[in-house]
Structure 1
Amino acid sequence: MKKKAYLLLLVVAVVASSCGLSKANRDSRKSLDGTWELSHIDYQNNEGYFKSLLFNDVTSKCFRGSEWFFRSNNSTGYYNIISPGNCAPGQRFIRWSIQDDANGNPSKFQFKFIDEKKKDISGGYGYVFDIRSLSADQMVISSVSNVDGESVNVVYQFNRISM
């Protein structure tokens, strides 16, 4: 009987440990903990003036200076549009994650919209970005968008405000 109980405990321990995040991924996620400002949005690989609606929400002008909060222990957070006027100020709740490449380096950042009770409101759809750089004080992510048949890299620069 003791052997069966020990074997069952061993199987449960192995299964539980295999479901966890890697140490590198936990460290990447923890590095995002806190409040950040979206300080700069840049359009690369194309010329011209771009008026864009980001995340199907508000224009890039409204996102400049927005406050983003990330909590790693439950992968939730929000962004807060601060600009008044046509910017529809207020908080939008998100669930986020970081994916590592084969070497354990953070390579993708993704988020989707949730409600105040942390329930998915986006039908499982979200946004995926390449992580260009991630440090204790700054994060730069990018995504490719299609404008009139041309690819445009949209680059977002975040600066940490507080932990």
Structure 2
Amino acid sequence: MKKVLIIMSLVVMLVSCKSNSPVGTKLDMKTEVALKGNWSISSVTYPGSEYIKVTSFNIEDSQCFVGSEWSFISNNNKGEMRLTKAACSGYNSPITWYINKDGKLVMKFLEGVKAKKMDIGYVLTVTNVTENSFQLIDNINVGGKNTNVVYQFIRNN
């Protein structure tokens, strides 16, 4: 009976110590350094974009992000995002971000709040990283279907 209780205790301890976090926290420093600098979004595309409006990051219509300016600082995982399109809100926010070993960019818009206090964040896939461009892909639900929204970034000189 003692052996059964000890084994059950060990199983409970192992299960309770298992991480429930769906986002890996081991950093991909090489990709982070590749993104260091100033960028603009040159296009936002998704199937049906000519008919369906998507609000990106719960901020503004996705097309307002075309031309937006982003800075990524890799040594402290901070940065800034600024919407610049005339017909849009003119939103501006500091961000905190990192890229994990699974190729996911984990990002929060801080909006005057410390990162620890901001409980809303976004997880996007980083792809096609070159010296002058990369893509972020957000998987969203549009009309009951999973859809990829592709943000194409180009480096500013």
Task: Indicate yes or no: 2:144 matched with 1:149.
Answer: yes
1 or 2, which has the higher strand percentage? 1
How far has the Cα of 1:115 moved from its partner? Answer: 4.1
CA distance in 2, matches of 1:156, 1:67: 12
CA distance in 1, matches of 2:52, 2:117: 26
Structure 2 gaps of 5+ residues are 1-25
CA contact (8 A) 1:115 1:121 kept: no
How far has the Cα of 1:122 moved from its partner? Answer: 6.6
Task: Indicate yes or no: 2:119 matched with 1:124.
Answer: yes
Letter in 2 for 1:97: Y
Q: How does 1:1-163 map to 2 (within 5 A)?
A: 25-44=28-47, 49-85=51-87, 87-101=88-102, 107-115=103-111, 119-120=114-115, 123-162=118-157
Question: Helix, strand or coil for the counterpart of 1:134?
Answer: coil
Question: Helix, strand or coil for the counterpart of 1:155?
Answer: strand
Q: What value does the CA root-mean-square deviation take over the aligned residues?
A: 2.1
How far has the Cα of 1:92 moved from its partner? Answer: 1.3
CA contact (8 A) 2:110 2:118 kept: no
Q: TM-score w.r.t. structure 1 length?
A: 0.73
CA distance in 2, matches of 1:95, 1:31: 16
How many residues in Structure 1 have an aligned counterpart in Structure 2? Answer: 132
Letter in 1 for 2:80: Y
Q: 1:66-112 CA distances to partner (integer Å, 9 max, x unpaired)?
A: 01110011101111110123x111421110110113xxxxx111200
CA distance in 1, matches of 2:63, 2:148: 17
How far has the Cα of 1:147 moved from its partner? Answer: 1.2
Q: TM-score w.r.t. structure 2 length?
A: 0.75
CA contact (8 A) 2:29 2:99 kept: no
